[in-house]
Amino acid sequence: MKGKTALVTGAAGGIGASVARALGEQGVRVAAVDRDADRLRETARELTADGHDILPFPADVTSAAEVDTLVDTVERELGPLDHLVNAAGVLRLGRVDALTDEDWTATFGVNTLGVFLMSRAVATRMTGRNRGAIVTVASNAATTPRVEMAAYSASKAAAAMFTKCLGLEVARHGIRCNVVAPGSTDTPMLRAMWHDETGPEKTVRGSLDAYRLGIPLEKVARPADVADAVVFLLSDQAAQITLHTLTVDGGATLGT
């Protein structure tokens, strides 16, 4: 992968930042994208200080105009994109009767519309070069119902299926499109769901009231665990893999 160029959304922290680091370790030049400009620049500084080629590009993935400008800028400054990782995501918790219109719109805006806009912009350019790989970071909640996660689960399911439909359309151009579906991962998003120091233990143990089975491997994933799966699917080691979902959840959804 050395010498290739990737664009990673949601790169200011969590899984996105870990993906940017993992790609940097492979010698990939990374355009790191996030709407939180301050955090993004700080993350890029940290990764650059560690010897990785990471450049920050603040942008809102829910804006078609910003996305098109962003991709043009990245390709002009860094060269043709070989890889795209859709890792930007938001979580709005709440039972359906408590979800607001804004909760639903904001969730689908980032998790689904953002994936569509970014993938369309990048894939259009990749098809002219007959090469490329795209990975969307979805969730195991895309295939397993979760209490208080209707908006999140539905948005991730839509993003996952969109990615596979795109993959079917661009396969003849040598472009592969895959999905990584994390389970509980130690990120700010997950930590925001914990109310005290027992949060990790409860996550591993599961909750009968919420129909959660827990995690058979008895550990919460690290962002690096998810990043390793993303890098694999982007790499030539996965040259014959497309339209696939790789679940990284320690067995929480029993392989479904």
pLDDT for the residue numbered 116: 98
Could you give the dihedral angle defined by the CA atoms of residues 42, 134, 229 and 161, in that order, rounded to the nearest 10 degrees? 110
CA distance 63 to 239: 32
Q: Which residue has the tokens 């919420």?
A: 210
Q: What is the mean pLDDT of residues 110-122?
A: 98
Confidence of residue 208 (pLDDT cuts 50, 70, 90): confident
Task: Give yes or no for residue 64 having a pLDDT over 90.
Answer: yes
Confidence of residue 192 (pLDDT cuts 50, 70, 90): confident
Q: Tally DSSP H helices, then E strands, for the chain.
A: 9, 7
Confidence of residue 202 (pLDDT cuts 50, 70, 90): confident
Phi-psi region of 243 (alpha: psi -120 to 50; beta: other; left: phi over 0): left
Estimate to the nearest angstrom the gap between the alpha carbon of 221 and the chain centroid: 15
Confidence of residue 203 (pLDDT cuts 50, 70, 90): confident
Q: What is the mean pLDDT of residues 184-190?
A: 82
Q: What is the mean pLDDT of residues 17-32?
A: 98
CA distance 242 to 21: 24
Confidence of residue 90 (pLDDT cuts 50, 70, 90): very high
Q: What is the mean pLDDT of residues 191-196?
A: 74
Condensed to tens digits (0 to 9), the pLDDT of residues 135-145 reads 999 999 999 99
Going by their DSSP bridges, the two strands 132-137 and 83-86 should be labelled as parallel
Residue numbers annotated as active site: 152
Q: What is the mean pLDDT of residues 93-101?
A: 97
Give this prediction's pTM.
0.95
pLDDT for the residue numbered 184: 87
% of the chain with per-residue pLDDT over 90: 88
Task: Give yes or no for residue 194 having a pLDDT over 90.
Answer: no
Domains in the chain, please, with CATH?
Answer: 5-183+223-245 (3.40.50.720), 185-220 (no CATH)
% of the chain with per-residue pLDDT over 70: 100
CA distance 99 to 103: 6
Q: What is the mean pLDDT of residues 239-254?
A: 97
